[in-house]
Chain A
Amino acid sequence: MQCLIVDDSALFLRCARELLEREGVEVVGVASNCAQALQRTEELQPDLVLVDIDLGKECGFDLARQLDRTGGDKGPPPAVILISSHSGEDFEELVVTSPAIGFLSKAVLSAGAIRSLMQGGRD
């Protein structure tokens, strides 16, 4: 599985990349903002994009919607998982109404959690 991580914290990008690659998820690229994310998605065509809800001034939900509109002749848009340092409770409804397939708290980020979300799909 090829994965793109979008987060405005360089520290997190490094740690997450290390962890996921160790657990067998190929991180093909990283991005710090929406523009970069869209560009890299276009270039790298990942299967999965991890999007931080809190991208500084930008909003992860907006990016999720924009990513959902990509795709076309190169294939379906990538799956989006929203991640955050914030608790997921508050965002439940927003996540459900967004194109993302689910939410993961950064504290419990792991390949296993990702895979189960991808397999489980959306309820």
Chain B
Amino acid sequence: MRLVSWLVRPTPPPLLMGIAVCALLVVAETLIIYPLGRIARADELAVVYMIGVLAVSMIWGFRLAVVTSVASALAFHFFHVPPVGEFSFADNLDWFDLAVFIAVALLVSSVARLARSRAVESVQRRREADLIAGLAQLMLGSNDLASVLPEASRRLAQALELPYAQITLESVAGDERRAALPLRGRLELGTLLVPADLPEPTLRRLRDQVVPALDALLSAAHDGELMSISLRTSRDELRAPAEEQAALRRVATLVGRGVAPSEIFAAVATETARLLDADASRLLRYEAPGTVTVIAEFSKPGVEALLGRRLAIAGGATEMVYRTSRPARVDTYKGRAGPLAALAREEGLRSSVAAPILVEGRLWGTMVVLWARHEAPPAGAEYRLAEFTELLATAVGNAESRAELTASRARIVVAADDARRRIERDLHDGVQQRLVALGLDLRAAEALVPHGLDELKARLSDTTDGLTGVFKDLQEIARGIHPAVLSQGGLGPALKSLALRCPVPVELNLGTLRRLPERVEVAAYYIVSEALTNATKHAHASAIVVDVEAGNQMIMLSIRDDGIGGADPRRGSGLVGLTDRVEALGGQLHVASPLGGGTTLRVELPSVEAPARLPEPG
């Protein structure tokens, strides 16, 4: 097949070669007829020259074939047709040979030309097909069409053997240097630029074969880009709710675990800022009308931290929430009046959304999220924020309830202690004094009894003793209600007196004990008193150690005994009351009481007044 494709190659071999071959063939054929003359008559062997004509017309085309035919006819007539040695065309039949040669030449050269042009066409087509396939892979396989165009242009120029070609996505008009072939799909897609001086067939070919294919490719690439953008958007849209749900769930878990409010506030600030891709988010609590305090904050580097600051709300989204108790947005702070708007502009923040925190129907605070970018906040951001603030409201409500509960328990405990002290006071000032007075009067009366009335004196003496006994009993009762030494001398002497009166030996270590708030001293006293009672009565201990350590903010009490252990605060035995008292004051109680291994009670009490509301930031 290699020979055949060489034979029908697009450009024929050089003309000189053709002439030489023609001459050679004619000579050869003329010579061959001589030996063939023995088989047949020489003047009937004109057909031998057909070989040459065929070959030349196939390879070199019609014109040279005609020359060959004429040369062949002349040679034949000269050498083989009698009279030999001269040209005689007398017979019409002699012209017939020539006519046949020429006819065959015409036919064969036409066929050859057809075959040749088909071959050329098919080679070109295959080249273009390869090019388009390569371009398709290049352009449709890349995410960024514009970046592969230079390579595509290069391949195009190389494949089609153009000096240069350029595919561009813009619509460019041609000039005298460059011809512009517009590429159009459903819309203007671009232009193919090629040298203006290309031969017309090439230009035609480009226009008819290459441009439509490029159109299709560019359309497909463009559609592909659109589709992947829309896929990405859908994926982002789907991901957003999933992320939001996850964030809400994280916050809800914190709320459910009863984590300290400050931790929840910080978590919400961070989550909302991240979720909404914001530059700052702040939790604001309403204070005196028209002001808020920043109690939690998340801000990207570069945004000033306002944590703990008091701000006036005029001009901000916060003010809108304050007035309507509904989510609000500020699309731009430009041109807004008010100190909060001015502050936002100063910080470089351009827009915000805010949502209310409603605790039991009242407006407790606001969550605000701010952006520095120029575009308005995404649609619906304020409502997404509101989902978080609902959780916050629950957390705040829980914390406030807990704080209230603790406060009311403390109040009850303090009220009970106050009542006891009052009773003790009343006893002291009233009944005890009167008993003392009675006793003194009786002794005065005793002294007045004249000599001789011994029995009377004795009776009076007995009565006095009886009265003294009553008086002492009352002292014990009064001390049980409230030990006077606690008020007069403080916790130290009171604990010492407790230790002395305990039937079981008590080792008391007081450390550096100074006077503490009355509430704390009373609580500590009763805790130790109760613990000693338990150790003595229930644990059957034989030795007890009491350690007291007064720190800056706390007082630590530890009561250890070597008794039978097994104390459980949940199962009564006096520890429940202790636990209530300790927790009412915001303290902590730890009991370690392995069976048979003694009991250790550890109590921590705050020794400063607890705050009446939720802790301040910081």
Contacts and interface: CB of A to CB of B under 8 A. Distances in A.
A93 B493 contact: yes
Given A16-B440, A60-B488, A90-B489, 10 more contacts: A15-B437, A19-B443, A22-B444, A23-B447, A53-B484, A85-B428, A85-B471, A86-B485, A107-B472, A108-B468
Interface residues of A, number: 30
A109 B440 CA distance: 8
Given A86-B478, A87-B479, A109-B440, A11 B433 contact: yes
B171 interface: no
A99 to B, nearest CB: 15
Nearest to A8: B429
B423 interface: no
Contact of B429 (A9, A23, A89): A9
Contact of B436 (A15, A23, A89): A15
16 contacts: A11-B437, A14-B437, A15-B436, A15-B441, A16-B440, A22-B444, A23-B447, A54-B428, A85-B432, A85-B471, A87-B472, A87-B475, A90-B485, A107-B436, A107-B468, A107-B472
B437 to A, nearest CB: 4
Tell me what chain A mostly uses at the interface: helix, strand, loop, or mixed.
helix
Contact of B444 (A8, A18, A87, A91): A18
B493 A11 contact: no
Which of A16, A61, A91, A110 has most chain B Cβ within 10 Å? A91
Interface in B473-503: 475-476, 478-479, 483-485, 488-489, 493-494, 496-497, 500-501
B118 interface: no
A59 B488 CA distance: 7
Nearest to B444: A19
Contacts of B439: 107
A44 interface: no
B434 interface: yes
Interface of A: 8-9, 11-12, 14-16, 18-19, 22-23, 53-54, 59-61, 84-87, 89-91, 93-94, 106-110
Nearest to A94: B489
A106 B436 contact: yes
Contacts of A85: 428, 432-433, 436, 471, 475
A22 B447 contact: yes
Interface size class of B (residues with CB under 8 A): 20 to 34
Contacts, number: 84
Contact of A54 (B468, B483, B488, B501): B488
Contacts of A23: 447
A12 B483 CA distance: 22
A54 B433 CA distance: 12
Given A22-B447, A91-B493, A86 B436 contact: no
B489 A91 contact: yes
A53 B486 CA distance: 13
A109 B438 CA distance: 12
A18 B441 CA distance: 9
Nearest to B492: A93
5 closest Cβ pairs, A-B complex: A90-B485, A90-B497, A15-B440, A85-B432, A15-B437
Interface string B445-480: 001000000000000000000001001100110110
Contacts of B496: 93
B268 to A, nearest CB: 50
A90 B483 CA distance: 9
B261 to A, nearest CB: 40
A22 B441 CA distance: 11
Interface string B404-444: 00000000000000000000000011001111110111011
B488 A9 contact: no
